[in-house]
Structure 1
């Protein structure tokens, strides 16, 4: 008969798990599953195999969705996934953020130095601010011992890296310095940018404007287009920039008076004329 397949025809390819009764299930084997819960992983694997078996048998996605009470989007996800591992996401993933992430660069460095004792490393990171358990440290190191590929910490957010670069090096904690060092080691362009930023900050804070020409030459030698445009803008007004980096005077006082006058204008808007505004400005000086 033509038309849509019946539920009975769909069940032919579906394993009958109810017929097994209450037989005890065999213990779950340890696998390299990307899921935190092996029970969840097994359910997804079984459903993935069933959906693909029905599709190969000629059943439509809509009929499969009706049989298993799945939405079209869910059926599409199973059908489009070449293997069950393509479906994991969210809370079932291993690579979720944890309180240990901030200290993983330190652990990695100490691991590379030959220190593999979990208890000792836990004692070392507690004074650095770690508030997690020893078990979390032990699990991370155990994964490093057994994983076929090296386990590394998640990269920090770009905003955090920017804060580290713009901060004085001596104000960064030991953990922050290690994480920044790891980031710069993997990105030569960012390492060069950090050097130029800190060199300019030193000129600015220590009034060393005479170093500006050397700084501009050093910037042009690196392949950093964003800094090249900045250097070109500074070069067009080099004398003024050198004066600003050298002389102790600035326009801060003038800007303060301008801001105060604007505040008075907003307070008196629609209430009085220029004469009263003039008196208030002069009396407040």
Structure 2
């Protein structure tokens, strides 16, 4: 072990086993003298010797402790304030340290990777035991990497406490690494950072007005680039807001015959019990009261933020209710696949032939391979009966115990699902989604919205990049789309187009340059992992250090 275990500036005299898990190395220095730390004059006049016992990196799975014999010398400079001094070993350990520098680096690396609590648990079987508090001290003292001024930066916000506290992350888009973390997402903080880093030439961001103002103040010469994913996201959010107000009108549209040969499936859920129906009506009454309160305050001119604080509602809910001209009913849930689906065609044929005996139908499909119970057939037949079943109690005869809760034109996906269909490429839609869009496009206003949104998605995806020898220019197409959207007659689309026009330079740069803010989203995912490793209780300084050192 003497030959294989190297200690900078020292020699190993002997190896002593201490217990079953520890090894003690008796070590002495090799130099003849040492310089005085005050006057720097060299001295070899030995005064005395004392022993230090720092911990070192393990060897062969055993913890190592050094028994370091340190010499004390007399300073021969008469004008020096020191009479004696101890020799120092800067490559091995710091003054008064209880562990060597290389052990401290190894423990700090584990703490940076696994966190203080997890790192302390991991270091124990690795024969480098220490406490979580010691790991935290080592992590706080770790030097930050040297930063090279970035030229292209991506900026985005991250949640320290979602819904309450947010910070900003800055990513070097050329080197694919985090440059810095900021404690908030205010324009003043980001502008001050940009003034300190005057070499930034390109800044990719989302469509936040706060970040746009910060870039204009801190780096007016830099080119702003709107993130293309956020452009599509904003387009989907715009369509969702419009669909929320128009959903009641669109649900009344008749279904469009589908050209696909999809298997027969249920389009509505089974009827609910009386208690479930009553709970549903009570829930609807509460939501209707909230909707009316929001509409009343909004029509009176009260700001949406004040309405949100007064009624204790989420801002998204307030905005949805304020923009909805009619009460936004909840979309009917389309049931998923069922074991009854392969037998629906046969059940429909038998019901058309006049059979309304649920047990008889169940026996027939059971002979065909059905593995379910008769209860499913009873529930399917309940809303299709033309006469009252013999087993129905007399007290319930003549009452509609299973009201049809599905919309007149059939179930329609929710506004969020419809908005997702609107921003998808047409060749990525399933036949069912194509039929759903064709159904809502029977409405003139909906047809204009869907057409404009599809075209906007194509413009963003087919941006102006050179493919082969022929460049594809989308700027002129975007300008044409912008002119049509501003005068389409749909308020939500016109407002969205006005916002794009105000942020026109950044949007056009997104369509003509390769820069994107996607790297920031990936780095935020790593940041969330580090934050959750520390149970969300880490200080901002510690979290910033871990993110920068992990980069």
TM-score normalised to the size of structure 1? 0.44
TM-score normalised to the size of structure 2? 0.24
Structure number with greater CO (CA < 8 Å, separation at least 6) is: 2
- Find the structure with the greater CA-based Rg: 2
